[in-house]
Amino acid sequence: QVQLVESGGDSVQAGGSLRLSCAASSYTFGERCAGWFRKRPGKEREGVAIIQADGVTRYEDSIEGRFHISQDNVKNLLYLQMNSLTPEDTGMYYCAASLNRRTCNSPNAGYFYYWGQGTQVTVSS
């Protein structure tokens, strides 16, 4: 049974950084698309970043180069490095993994089958 477990969420001040991690069991990162999504207060869930099996990454436009998605194929971990955080980044962040897609054109939730429980990120001004 595939399980994704996020960690690294915390409370930080604006301008700070966090690195989120996602550990997978019964699933290997690097073979299919994986990504990060978030649910901000009062807003719909939205895609943040994805990484394809070939390493190509794509980001939601509003991220504006502040976040970086990566994966460690040895440790089987997915990461989201978040820099220059603002209060608008506050929310629950979810790791997601595709069932069988090696490519995914955008952070579209429809591409992903497996989901973690989320880790909370809170940014204060």
User: For residue 21, what is the DSSP state?
Assistant: E
Q: Give the distance from CA 50 to its chain's centroid.
A: 7
Q: What angle do CA 91, 60, 117 make, to 5 degrees?
A: 40
Task: Give the three-class secondary structure for 3.
Answer: strand
Q: State the average pLDDT for the chain.
A: 96
Q: 49 versus 62: which is more confidently predicted?
A: 49
For residue range 61-97, what is the model confidence (pLDDT) as tens digits?
A: 988 799 999 999 899 999 999 999 999 999 999 999 9
Radius of gyration of the chain (CA): 13
Structure confidence at residue 54 (pLDDT): 92
For residue range 12-28, what is the model confidence (pLDDT) as tens digits?
A: 999 999 999 999 999 99
Top mean-pLDDT range of 2-6, 60-64, 71-75, 101-105: 2-6
